Amino acid sequence: MGPPNVTASVHGSELPPKTTERSDAPLELTGYRKWLSDNLMLLVTLSGVLLGVTLGLSLRPLHLHGDCIMLISYPGELFMRVLKLMILPLVISSLIAGSASLNAKMNGKIALRTLVYFASTSFFNAALGIALVLLIHPGNPDMHNNDDRSTDKRTVNLLDSLLDLGRNVFPDNLFQASIQQAHTVYLPKPSILHAFNETMNETAVLLSGGLEAQRQADELDEVVLVRDVQYRSGTNTLGIVFFCLVFGTFLGTIGQKGQVVVDFFAAIFEVIMKMVTCVMWLTPVGISSVIAGKILSVDDLGLVMAQLIWFIFTVAVGVFLYQFVVMQAIYFVFVRRNPFKFYAGLIQAMLTAFATASTAAALPITFRCMNEKLRVDPRITRFVLPIGCNINMDGTALYIAVASIFIAQMSGMVLGFGELLTVLLTSTAASMSSASVPSAALVLLLVVLTAIDAPVQDVTLLFAVDWFVDRIRTTNNMLGDCYTAAIVEELSRKELMALDAAAVNYQDMPAGTPNGHSEVMLEGQTELITDSVVVDMSAVMNNVSLQQEQQHSNRRV
């Protein structure tokens, strides 16, 4: 109880009573103040991008020393390290909590819809890239310089890439998967015959001393390469995603026994998201440092842009055509809502993905935009976004298709229908095995070039512009994950409503008695709910409509 209202008087006139409620009531922002409050993080991120571009272009005429460029890039390096620090706990907690909140059958349906959508969009992006590169024809044979060719003949095989994908999906050591990835390398085959040939070479040179003997000896000494599976540094996120997905699915089948574990990982997810909110205030310094450092590190920015401008233009046209036309049309067909409003809510995450050139580094901000701003069901976002971060590479599929045909055009190669079909299929398959790290597509590009017998050494021509093109295509990858989550949520709406109704019915059950009879019944009810949801759909619709009305009333308040 508060103090009694006391009526004061000044010069004989009574003043209204003092109340604490009026002074404590929050002021509702209106107009531009409300817009500024809702989009403050977006403005902060955008200011970092603009500041980085301005700083980088303005400092280029000074020709700074390498140490100065390193110091300018250092805050951005720390910003990237902090973002990457939160990727592993975020992926683990989101996948386990998300898959455990759904039943096993529901997880299978969502996974099937997600994978089908990912494969379809990657295939479409590869086809779009092939169409654009054939139409625009950015490859000019006159720009090719044979003197600059490297003699490195790196052996790359599509089969090795697919087998490495399977090895990473099924890691043999979960702790090793957090720091290393499996990959195939080719090493010289050690043999007794090889050692004997070396001895004969030396003997022939010493005895004859002739060039003909040396030539014959070199022909005998042929190096045989064999496959060897080794481990390289880097988080095997794909294997961790698979383990957490399976672990969370089975965790959801044991009912109340595993609820404490689900709550534990849900709490970890909330803590990480609060840490992300704090890190976001460092965005202007971090993103501006990353972009300025990249611009300053390019030796001759004008010459590079002039030589490869048509290649950059082709990739950019494909990315923006897919983002503003195809992606919005798919969203409108399935969700029946304004797609550009959904797109506007993802600008902050898109700018972060552009600055960091990594879908994984932008994953914390993507979660924040999807859950807090766009109100997508967290059970879907926790399931789809970590998987899409490692599998869905729409922009990478488009880039690999464009880059492979671009190199073939510069070499004067004429690709037939069979070669184009090979590019289409290998680009789609290689993109789905791509790592969500900067410039990972350059390694996968070698797979496609080997498949069509194009000059592999010409990949070095793209190194000069990959830092920029990589950022453009990363936005496609990140947006593809978000739109997939929204579409899968719409396609899974009935199953989600059934789970909500089953949860409400389960909470309404009477508590168990000390003799343990009701506890057995509850365990059976839990198993029924997790394996096959059988509810009255009329009750489902009533519960969902009540929940929606409560959410609308809370938003109005």
Domains and CATH numbers, the chain: 36-142+235-499 (1.10.3860.10)
Give the mean model confidence (pLDDT) for residues 124-144: 84
Is residue 222 a contact partner of residue 204, using CB atoms and an 8 Å limit?
Answer: no
Phi, psi of 5, deg, nearest 5 = -70, 130
Tokens 């501006």 belong to residue = 288
| Whether pTM exceeds 0.85 | no
Is residue 375 a contact partner of residue 403, using CB atoms and an 8 Å limit?
Answer: no
Q: Could you tell me the sign of the dihedral formed by the alpha carbons of 341, 344, 345, 346, in that order?
A: positive
Give the mean model confidence (pLDDT) for residues 140-145: 60
Rounded Cα gap, residues 156 and 185, in angstroms: 9
User: How far out from the chain centre does Cα 128 lie?
Assistant: 21
pLDDT of residue 546: 62
Give the mean model confidence (pLDDT) for residues 141-160: 53
Q: Check residues 473 and 151 and name the one with the higher pLDDT.
A: 473
pLDDT of residue 148: 44
Q: Check residues 188 and 487 and name the one with the higher pLDDT.
A: 487
Q: What angle do CA 528, 534, 536 make, to 5 degrees?
A: 140
Rounded Cα gap, residues 110 and 485, in angstroms: 10
User: How far out from the chain centre does Cα 476 lie?
Assistant: 10
Q: Check residues 519 and 461 and name the one with the higher pLDDT.
A: 461
Q: Check residues 339 and 439 and name the one with the higher pLDDT.
A: 339
Q: Check residues 49 and 210 and name the one with the higher pLDDT.
A: 49
Least confident range of 104-113, 292-301, 359-368, 533-542: 533-542
pLDDT-based confidence at residue 548 (cuts at 50, 70, 90) = low
Please state, for a pLDDT cut of 70, what percent of the chain lies above it.
Answer: 71
DSSP state of 508: T
Chain mean pLDDT for the chain: 76
Q: Check residues 521 and 304 and name the one with the higher pLDDT.
A: 304
Phi, psi of 183, deg, nearest 5 = -155, 155
One-letter identity of residue 450: T
pLDDT of residue 320: 92
pLDDT of residue 130: 94
pLDDT of residue 272: 87
pLDDT of residue 517: 40
Rounded Cα gap, residues 244 and 481, in angstroms: 19
User: How far out from the chain centre does Cα 342 lie?
Assistant: 18
Residue 120 burial (CB count, 10 A): 12
237 has a pLDDT exceeding 60:
yes
Is residue 354 a contact partner of residue 475, using CB atoms and an 8 Å limit?
Answer: yes
285 has a pLDDT exceeding 70:
yes
Is residue 497 a contact partner of residue 540, using CB atoms and an 8 Å limit?
Answer: yes
* Spatial CA neighbour of 450 closest among 430, 435, 469, 480: 430
pLDDT of residue 354: 87
**Which residues, listed in sequence order, are joined to residue 13 by a DSSP beta bridge?**
10
pLDDT of residue 220: 46
Give the mean model confidence (pLDDT) for residues 328-344: 93
273 has a pLDDT exceeding 60:
yes
pLDDT-based confidence at residue 470 (cuts at 50, 70, 90) = confident
Q: Which two tokens stand for residue 247?
A: 């672990």
pLDDT of residue 524: 37
Give the mean model confidence (pLDDT) for residues 290-312: 78
Instruction: Render pLDDT for 74-110 as a digit per residue (tens, 0 to 9).
Output: 988 888 888 888 878 888 888 888 888 776 777 788 8
Q: Which two tokens stand for residue 187?
A: 């090493």
DSSP SS3 for 230: strand
Rounded Cα gap, residues 540 and 499, in angstroms: 9
